[in-house]
């Protein structure tokens, strides 16, 4: 594969005679930033200053300047976001929500492929991105299930007119290599672009004495092709296909037996969109989308060559959607849509192929009754073949006191549908002997066990259960964007999310072997609340300093009630006797840091072509385990200590900004916590090179 890269590189270099500086330096200056248009919060173009929800954008330039190549790397440096380590991948936490509750989109279309709710962000390359938009707070009113904590939308770059291309490579510690090759050709009507990205690593081992790697060696390819064509000023189409395949070389020890084998993961996204402008006032869109996600693994026990574990997972998602955008008057705009979805899954732990059908309709009115006031009212109705229908309303408003100060407030409902696992899982642990059944399977599977005489006592009769409901939240966000003087942007957002019906497993029966049978229920009510603030200051033309922080509280309401009733206990560390837990001792939900902060200083000199930045990312202590067995975090040793990561990068541009050489240091302080943080491999040093060219027509 490497050879193909180099051959293509040479070919592309030869064809590029009239070279031109690419977009490396062209950036959203401060003035531009204000007029920056965002799309994700409303499904329509809207200026960033006016949009009445908390929205953050990350430009391609910023990503490149920091030398970050995967989505998890760049998101971890954003205020209020934290990338969580997990055996099933690196997911994102927004406003204290687990990764399950954030929708990740590519050009407005949802990515699928979650394992225990986590969509592994390291799958996603930051190559060929124009920008990333992050909306915090529920956007289920537009996007439906999963958009409960927020939405992260990756917006692909549109190629400039002419031929253009780039090759970039980053290589460093742990043989981490990321190579991208981009090519594009565009005229006024046609635009054609594609890229190949290869990402690989030799993995790393945080606990060598365990004989198992923390991250196994892997390599993955992303192939992307996009075709756009404007038939005329009114009609255009866009087709996009992206394929990602990754293979991990597993090798670990279980009770002195060496287990080896490959695990592969594939995703495929294909979309086709047609946009037609019927009049100056009315535009229509039709979009077709297919997404596939599959994994496969075969693990062999090397001691006796037996199959240790063989699994597969195969998910398909199809959607057809129609959207219309009607500007009724200059101050009133209506956007609405209707769509249908078909989903299916086949997997080792499911009885047979499972399918979902759903239909939805959404509408949004964007009203500007006064020049300074913008009100958005919207809602979406989802009807589903398996779980209860959902209605997700949203109301948001922004008031522009001046060019410098905008107040924003929004409230809305978000929801997340029960996933396939919660509905259809049929799993019995072969070693320990417990069983877990999805809601839909519980009655039949329990009956089977009863008929086999394996059940000692039924605790909850599954036939009496209430239908599993979607998890939902009501959110309130309130804040402002403020530019007190030139070069300074200050945002504040206060949030509160009341989350109902969180799904968890609980025992429904006791087996004769003493183990339990579990199924899923709507159990917990939790809330998260906090405040987030960000300040950016540009000075002396070349310098930027920025900082942000988030304060977060995330509690389980039922635990608070139990504490109030005096029913939560802990162990006195000196006497090992039972003590009662007070509210002040309750650490809240696991993995939530009360305090998170980041600071950044950046320098960019266009004359010398030197770009540098140093970032510090602080994650305050967070609950991690339950040493005293009372189900909650309350002791100091149940927390992971807070830590700071320092990341830096220095670039130098050459040849009229076409060539960039870069050194990137990730976690320069070499912070590690092998027992608790699996995604911190220690200090990572990379060298990078990017070469851009474009040929004007």
Q: Which of residues 512-531 bind other proteins (CB under 8 A)?
A: 512-514
**Closer CB to other proteins, residue 129 or residue 581?**
581
Q: What is the largest CA-CA distance in the chain?
A: 81
Q: CA angle, 542 as apex, 541 and 543 as ends, to 5°?
A: 105
Closer to other proteins by Cβ: residue 28 or 673: 673
Measure Cα distances from 10 to 179, 204, 429, 601 in Å. 15, 34, 54, 37
- Part in contact with other proteins (CB under 8 A); list of ranges 184-192, 364-372, 466-474, 576-584: 576-584
C-alpha distances in angstroms, 620 versus 404, 593, 671? 32, 5, 14
How many CA atoms, within 13 angstroms, populate the side-chain half-sphere of residue 4?
9
Q: Which is nearer to other proteins, 273 or 587 (CB)?
A: 587
Three state DSSP letters for 591-635: CCECEEEEEEEEEEECCCCEEEEEEEEEECCEECCCCCCCCCCCC
Q: Which is nearer to other proteins, 254 or 407 (CB)?
A: 254
* Interacting span for other proteins (CB under 8 A) from 333-341, 406-414, 444-452, 578-586: 578-586
Shortest Å distance, C-beta 633 to other proteins = 11
Q: Are 392 and 140 in contact (CB under 8 A)?
A: yes
- Work out how close the CB of 117 gets to other proteins at its nearest, in angstroms, rounded to a whole number: 17
d(CA 231, CA 274): 11
Q: Could you tell me the CA-to-CA distances from 445 to 429, 460, 516 in Å, in that order?
A: 15, 14, 13
Write the CA distances from 87 to 174, 185, 322, 430, integer angstroms: 19, 41, 38, 21
**CA distance from start to end of the chain:** 31
Report the distance separating Cα 465 and Cα 467, nearest Å: 6
Closest distance of CB 576 from other proteins, Å: 4
The correct pick among 188, 430, 464, 576 for binding other proteins (CB under 8 A) is 576
Q: What's the CA gap between 608 and 654, in Å, rounded?
A: 9
Task: Output the smallest distance, CB 587 to other proteins, in A.
Answer: 14
Is residue 679 a contact point for other proteins (CB under 8 A)?
no
Binding marks (x or -) toward other proteins, 189..208, rule CB under 8 A?
A: --------------------
Nearby residues of 62 by Cβ (< 8 Å), 6 or more positions away: none
In the complex, the smallest distance separating the C-beta of residue 252 from other proteins, rounded to whole angstroms, is: 12
357 touching other proteins, by CB under 8 A? no
Cα–Cα distance for residue pair 142/432, rounded to 1 Å: 44
Which of 319, 316, 318, 307 has its CA nearest to residue 347? Answer: 316
- Shortest distance, position 632 Cβ to other proteins, whole Å: 11
Structure tokens at 48: 């960033």
Near other proteins by CB under 8 A: residue from 247, 498, 505, 571: 571
Binding of other proteins by 270 (CB under 8 A): no
Number of residues in contact with other proteins under rule CB under 8 A: 26
Q: What binding mask, one character per residue, do residues 530-569 give for other proteins by CB under 8 A, x or -? A: -------------------------------------xxx
Q: Which is nearer to other proteins, 210 or 697 (CB)?
A: 210
- Closer to other proteins by Cβ: residue 432 or 540: 432
Exposure of 82 in the CB half-sphere (CA atoms within 13 A): 34
Of 31, 431, 540, 574, the one binding other proteins by CB under 8 A: 574
What is the per-residue binding string for other proteins in 492-511, x denoting contact by CB under 8 A? Answer: ------------------x-
- For other proteins, the closer CB: 533 or 634: 634
* Binding of residue 570 to other proteins (CB under 8 A): yes
Q: Are strands 639-640 and 622-623 parallel, antiparallel or unpaired?
A: antiparallel
Q: How far is the CB of 367 from other proteins (least distance, A)?
A: 51
Q: How far is the CB of 571 from other proteins (least distance, A)?
A: 4
Binding to other proteins by CB under 8 A, coded x per residue (else -) over 387-426, reads ----------------------------------------
As a whole number of angstroms, the distance between CA 149 and CA 600 comes to 26
Our finding on whether 577 is near other proteins (CB under 8 A) is: yes
Identity of the residue, 576 or 607, whose beta carbon is nearer to other proteins in the bound complex: 576
String marking each residue 3-42 x if it binds other proteins according to CB under 8 A: ----------------------------------------
**Per-residue contact flags (x/-) with other proteins for residues 612 to 651, judged by CB under 8 A:** -------------xxxxxx------x--------------
| 489 φ/ψ angles, rounded to the nearest 5 degrees | -130, 125
Which of 580, 606, 656, 696 touches other proteins by CB under 8 A?
580
Query: How many residues make up the chain in this entry?
Result: 697
| H-helix segments, 387-505 | 420-424, 442-451
User: Quick check: 675 binds other proteins (CB under 8 A)?
Assistant: yes
Q: Is 182 exposed, middle or buried (0-12, 13-18, 19+ CB in 10 A)?
A: buried
Q: According to CB under 8 A, which residues from 456 to 485 bind other proteins? A: 456
Instruction: Provide the token pair at 389.
Output: 């229908």
Residues making contact with other proteins (CB under 8 A)? 456, 510, 512-514, 567-571, 573-580, 625-630, 637, 675
């Amino acid at each position: 594969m490497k050879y193909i890269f180099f051959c293509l590189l040479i070919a592309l270099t030869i064809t590029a005679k009239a070279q031109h500086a690419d977009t490396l330096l062209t950036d959203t200056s401060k003035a531009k930033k204000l007029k920056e248009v965002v799309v994700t919060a409303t499904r329509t173009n809207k200026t960033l200053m006016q949009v009445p929800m908390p929205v953050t954008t990350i430009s391609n330039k910023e990503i490149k300047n920091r030398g970050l190549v995967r989505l998890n790397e760049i998101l971890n440096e954003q205020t209020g976001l934290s990338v969580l380590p997990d055996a099933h991948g690196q997911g994102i936490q927004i406003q204290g929500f687990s990764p399950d509750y954030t929708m990740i989109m590519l050009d407005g279309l949802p990515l699928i492929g979650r394992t225990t709710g986590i969509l592994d962000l390291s799958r996603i390359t930051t190559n060929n991105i124009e920008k990333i938009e992050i909306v915090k707070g529920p956007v289920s009113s537009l996007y439906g299930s999963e958009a409960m904590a927020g939405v992260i939308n990756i917006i692909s770059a549109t190629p400039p007119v002419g031929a253009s291309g780039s090759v970039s490579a980053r290589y460093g510690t742990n043989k981490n290599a990321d190579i991208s090759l981009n090519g594009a050709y565009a005229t006024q009507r046609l635009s054609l672009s594609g890229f190949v990205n290869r990402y690989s690593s030799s993995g790393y081992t945080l606990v060598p004495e365990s004989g198992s790697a923390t991250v196994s060696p892997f390599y993955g390819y992303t192939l992307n092709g996009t075709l756009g064509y404007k038939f005329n000023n009114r009609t255009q189409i866009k087709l996009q296909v992206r394929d990602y395949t990754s293979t991990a070389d597993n090798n670990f020890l279980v009770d002195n037996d060496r287990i080896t084998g490959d695990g592969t993961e594939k995703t495929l996204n294909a979309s086709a969109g047609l946009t037609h402008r019927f009049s100056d006032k009315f535009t229509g869109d039709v979009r077709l989308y297919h997404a596939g996600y599959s994994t496969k693994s075969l693990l062999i026990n090397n001691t006796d060559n037996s199959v240790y574990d063989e699994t597969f997972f195969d998910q398909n998602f199809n959607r057809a959607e129609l959207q219309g955008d009607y500007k009724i008057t200059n101050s009133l705009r209506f956007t609405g849509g209707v769509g249908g979805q078909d989903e299916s899954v086949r997997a080792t732990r499911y009885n047979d192929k499972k399918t979902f059908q759903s239909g939805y309709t959404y509408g949004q009115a964007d009203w500007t009754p006064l020049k300074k006031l913008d009100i958005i009212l919207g809602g979406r109705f989802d009807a589903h073949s398996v779980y209860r229908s959902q209605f997700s309303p949203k109301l948001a408003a922004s008031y522009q006191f001046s060019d410098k100060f905008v107040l924003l407030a929004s409230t809305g409902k978000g929801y997340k549908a029960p996933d396939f696992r919660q509905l259809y899982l049929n799993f019995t642990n072969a070693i320990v002997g417990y069983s877990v059944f999805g809601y839909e399977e519980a009655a039949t599977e329990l009956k089977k066990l009863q008929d086999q005489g394996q059940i000692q006592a039924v605790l909850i009769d599954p036939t009496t259960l209430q239908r599993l409901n979607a998890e939902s939240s009501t959110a309130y966000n309130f804040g402002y964007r403020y530019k007190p003087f030139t070069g300074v942007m200050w945002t504040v957002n206060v949030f509160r999310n009341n989350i109902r019906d969180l799904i968890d497993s609980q025992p429904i029966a006791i087996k004769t072997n003493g183990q339990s049978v579990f199924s899923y229920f709507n159990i917990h009510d939790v809330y998260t609340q906090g405040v987030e603030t960000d300040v950016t200051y540009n000075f002396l033309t070349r310098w930027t300093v920025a900082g942000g922080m988030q304060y977060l509280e995330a509690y389980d309401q039922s635990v608070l009630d139990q504490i109030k009733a005096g029913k939560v206990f802990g162990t006195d560390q000196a006497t090992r006797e039972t003590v009662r837990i007070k509210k002040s001792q309750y650490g809240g939900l696991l993995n939530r840091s009360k305090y998170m902060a980041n600071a950044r200083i950046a320098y960019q000199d266009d004359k010398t072509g030197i770009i540098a930045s140093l970032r510090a990312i602080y994650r305050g202590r967070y609950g991690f385990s339950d040493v005293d067995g009372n189900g909650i975090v309350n002791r100091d040793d149940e927390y992971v200590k807070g830590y700071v990561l320092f990341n830096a990068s220095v670039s130098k541009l050459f040849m009229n900004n076409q060539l960039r050489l870069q050194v990137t240091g990730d976690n320069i302080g070499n912070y590690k916590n092998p027992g608790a943080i699996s995604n911190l491999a220690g200090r990572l040093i990379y060298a990078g090179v990017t070469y851009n060219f474009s040929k004007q027509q």
